[in-house]
Amino acid sequence: MPAQTGIQGEHHPAARFLMIRVTKKGKSALQDQITAFYAKRHLLARTQPETGIATTLAFGKALWQELYSLGPDNFLPMPVVEGDFPHPALAADLLVHISSTRADLCFELADALVSDWEGIKVLDECSAFRFHERRDLTGFIDGIENPVEREERDEVTLLPQAVGACAEGSFVFAQRFVHDLKKWQAQSVDEQQKVMGRTKSEGAELDDETKPASAHIARVDIGIDILRFSLPYGNAGGEKGLFFLALTNNLAVIDEMLQRMYGLNADGLQDRLLEFTKAVGGNYFFAPPQDLLNELFDLEDI
Ligand code: HEM
């Protein structure tokens, strides 16, 4: 029961993320578009294997339960926060993550899925890129603590065999953040480092005396890993930020990170990073294993 290629794949330098509301629900409303998507995907993967094209289709809870009623358990709702430091949900039924060494292929595949698809609304589409030295637009190296070895990655992302047909599926957390880079750049490097909890040049962790309890990594380091495939995005002179995407086989882990970032846990501290970036919409999704997706939509094996 292999995982989808986007779950197993590399953290490529180009990606396109779409969050889609499907107004006409049910398998038959999705069938033609998903068939067209995989036909194009097979063609690109066969003719241009060096581009490493990888895809994940992940479903919002309501649509997934309509398509498949036998799990997974613990498909939690994403924590939603209102107010000055919001964490909003998008009512998306489908998350599409396409990544490759080439942005044009990401575009082409996304277009094959969405073009002429009546009865959907693309709630968010983000074309993202790897920035210098794997840095976020804040200038800090992102992804340092990501698990690297296949075994480690599988252990944090894939549902175990015991769950039956959903085994090797993964939960996906997607959220788009918009940075206030003017405000960020007005801080000294020393202050920025205190916000992140790491040094800017090398990404070395600050020692416990220097690292405030409200630093980003102090809030999200709970001793359990997730796999992050986030990438920066931006319009010149316009909106810029990070499309955050993380995989886990246990949404309670991400829940706890979010609770600690947004000051919802016992110590009530908030992540200082939120003074400089704002979540604008996302949700939790489930990426079924490829076999189950093939079975549901009568797709050829890949
Ligand atoms: C705009 C939003 C965000 C930015 C710019 C950002 C940036 C960073 C940076 C620079 C690091 C340090 C290097 C690394 O280990 O990757 C980091 C670590 C991390 N971030 Fe974020 N992050 C953001 C949002 C989030 C969110 C929403 C979560 C989870 C809910 C999260 C989870 C983590 C985790 C688990 C680590 C590793 C912590 C450790 O063990 O040291 N981040 N992030």
How far from 4 is each of 58, 153, 175, 194, 196, CA to CA, in Å? 10, 14, 20, 38, 32
Are 8 and 80 contacting, i.e. CB atoms less than 8 angstroms apart? no
Distance in angstroms between the alpha carbons of the first and the last residue of the chain = 12
For the Cβ of 124 lying below 6 angstroms from any atom of ligand 1, the answer is no
Q: Whose CA is nearest to atom 19 of ligand 1?
A: 217
Q: What is the pLDDT of residue 7?
A: 97
User: Does residue 302 carry a pLDDT above 60?
Assistant: no
The sign of the dihedral angle between the CA atoms of 20, 92, 141, 9 is: negative
Nearest-atom index, ligand 1, CA of 254: 30
Number of helices and strands in the chain (H, E): 10, 9
User: Does residue 13 carry a pLDDT above 60?
Assistant: yes
Instruction: Return the H-helix or E-strand segment holding 261.
Output: helix 251-261
195-232 tens-digit pLDDT: 999 999 999 999 999 999 999 999 999 999 999 999 99
User: Does residue 25 carry a pLDDT above 90?
Assistant: no
Task: Please tell me the distance between residue 236's alpha carbon and the centre of ligand 1 in angstroms.
Answer: 24
DSSP 160-208: PGGGGGGTT-EEEEEEEEEE-HHHHHTS-HHHHHHHHTB-TTT-PBPPT
Give the number of other CB atoms < 10 A from CB of residue 75.
Answer: 17
Q: How far apart are CA 280 and CA 92, in angstroms?
A: 13
Nearest-atom index, ligand 1, CA of 140: 10
CA 213, chain centre distance (Å): 26
Hunting for tokens 């998507």 — which residue is that?
A: 37
Q: How far apart are CA 125 and CA 3, in angstroms?
A: 24
Q: What is the pLDDT of residue 1?
A: 58
For the Cβ of 79 lying below 6 angstroms from any atom of ligand 1, the answer is no
Radius of gyration of the chain (CA): 19
Nearest-atom index, ligand 1, CA of 145: 15
Q: What is the pLDDT of residue 280?
A: 98
Tokens of 174: 């997607």
- Dihedral of CA atoms 54, 145, 259, 275 in degrees, nearest 10, equals -100
Q: At what angle do helices 27-47 and 103-114 cross, to 10 degrees?
A: 150
For the Cβ of 177 lying below 6 angstroms from any atom of ligand 1, the answer is yes
Q: Which residues are part of the catalytic machinery?
A: 142
59-116 tens-digit pLDDT: 999 999 999 999 999 999 999 999 999 999 999 999 999 999 999 999 999 999 999 9
